[in-house]
């Protein structure tokens, strides 16, 4: 893995936003269709802000061919809950993008698993089928959990996993409580519906973003691995032919060969 290393989070976010914007422009120009896989969490917030600024410079772009699939959604949670991934995405990206460019209709062009579904198996099947109806994901944006999770594929997830109900790891519940639920773990759902590692690996291209010292240990683990392992689900990306790793100095740190 040979990441691009940036001095700051903002430099990383701005650079990745330009690459994503170029990919969107290119796909819409060449085939008027682009399937974008999106992530939530704190890391992509800067990317979405810089992307919106770039979309503002091109109000002429016809975005009706842009389709977005999010990696995951908590379960159980109603889409209208303030900290559902539906609400997060609407707040930080889909709503502002529709304001900037009305050819993007969030309701029709975005897909996030339904955290209030009465039938999990049916919802997971529906989600996988919806992705395949659009061909495949052209570009998947990923963050990475401190335990190596991608989406909500926690340690123990291998490359055969598909969209399914997953149990959140205790560290994930604590971290998400601290970040989004005012530290109250009781408010954090214990499960989520997540694209599987296998689903993610079918993306044509993957951009993984990592920022901050909390990601240093898991990135160092990846640097030392030759073989993918379910213990660090992000390690399956090491086999993908078109992954780009974008990290900041804080996350990459000074590599210390383990004695």
Instruction: Candidates 13, 40, 98, 101: give the one binding ligand GLP (CB under 6 A).
Output: 40
Instruction: Candidates 3, 37, 41, 228: give the one binding ligand GLP (CB under 6 A).
Output: 41
SS3 of 210, please? strand
| Residues facing 232 on adjacent strands | 229
Task: Find the part of the chain contacting ligand GLP (CB under 6 A) among 23-31, 34-42, 109-117, 225-233.
Answer: 34-42
Pick from 6, 3, 1, 4: which is nearest to 250 by CA?
6
Q: Which is nearer to ligand GLP, 27 or 149 (CB)?
A: 149
Closest distance of CB 139 from ligand GLP, Å: 15
DSSP tag of 209? E
Instruction: Candidates 143, 189, 228, 230: give the one binding ligand GLP (CB under 6 A).
Output: 143
Active-site pick, 27, 50, 70, 72: 72
Task: Identify whether 72 is a catalytic site residue.
Answer: yes
Task: Identify whether 149 is a catalytic site residue.
Answer: yes
How far apart, in Å, are the Cα atoms of 79 and each of 35, 89, 113, 130, 225? 22, 11, 9, 18, 38
Q: Which is nearer to ligand GLP, 70 or 109 (CB)?
A: 70
Task: Identify whether 62 is a catalytic site residue.
Answer: no
* 32 vs 64: CA distance, rounded Å: 8
Closest distance of CB 210 from ligand GLP, Å: 8
Structure-token pair, residue 75? 């379960």
Instruction: Candidates 37, 148, 151, 196: give the one binding ligand GLP (CB under 6 A).
Output: 151
DSSP tag of 169? P
DSSP tag of 215? G
Q: Which residues contact 91 (CB under 8 A, 6 or more apart)?
A: none
Task: Identify whether 171 is a catalytic site residue.
Answer: no
Structure-token pair, residue 246? 């974008």
Does 71 engage in binding with ligand GLP (CB under 6 A)?
yes
Q: Which is nearer to ligand GLP, 136 or 213 (CB)?
A: 213
DSSP tag of 240? -
Q: Which is nearer to ligand GLP, 48 or 55 (CB)?
A: 48
Structure-token pair, residue 8? 């700051």
How far apart, in Å, are the Cα atoms of 46 and each of 43, 95, 167, 188, 242? 7, 16, 28, 24, 23
Closest distance of CB 153 from ligand GLP, Å: 9
Task: Find the part of the chain contacting ligand GLP (CB under 6 A) among 23-31, 33-41, 53-61, 231-239.
Answer: 33-41
Q: How many residues of this chain interact with ligand GLP, rule: CB under 6 A?
A: 14
Q: Which residue has the tokens 């772009």?
A: 61
Q: Which is nearer to ligand GLP, 24 or 234 (CB)?
A: 234
Q: Which parts of this chain interact with ligand GLP (CB under 6 A)?
A: 39-43, 71-72, 143-145, 151-152, 172, 179
Please identify every residue annotated as catalytic. 72, 147, 149, 154
């Amino acid at each position: 893995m040979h990441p691009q290393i940036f001095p700051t989070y903002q430099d990383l976010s701005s650079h990745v936003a330009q690459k994503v914007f170029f990919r969107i422009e290119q796909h819409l120009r060449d085939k008027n269709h682009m399937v974008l896989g999106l992530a939530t969490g704190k890391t992509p917030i800067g990317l979405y802000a810089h992307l919106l600024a770039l979309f503002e410079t091109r109000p002429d772009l016809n975005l009706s061919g842009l389709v977005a699939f999010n990696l995951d959604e908590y379960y159980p949670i109603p889409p209208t809950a303030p900290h559902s991934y539906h609400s997060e995405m609407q707040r930080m990206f889909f709503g502002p993008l529709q304001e900037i460019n009305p050819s993007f209709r969030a309701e029709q062009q975005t897909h996030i698993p339904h955290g209030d579904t009465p039938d999990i198996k049916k919802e997971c099947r529906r989600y996988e089928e919806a992705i395949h109806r659009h061909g495949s994901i052209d570009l998947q944006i990923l963050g990475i959990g401190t335990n190596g999770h991608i989406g909500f594929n926690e340690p123990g997830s291998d490359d055969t996993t598909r969209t399914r109900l997953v149990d959140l790891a205790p560290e994930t519940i604590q971290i998400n409580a601290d970040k989004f639920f005012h530290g109250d773990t009781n408010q954090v759902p214990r499960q989520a519906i997540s694209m599987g590692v296998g689903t993610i690996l079918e993306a044509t291209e993957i951009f993984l973003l990592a920022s901050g010292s909390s990601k240093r240990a898991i990135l160092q683990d990846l640097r030392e691995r030759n073989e993918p392992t379910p213990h660090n689900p992000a390690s399956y990306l090491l086999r993908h032919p078109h992954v780009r790793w974008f990290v900041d100095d804080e996350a990459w740190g000074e590599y210390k060969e383990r004695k």
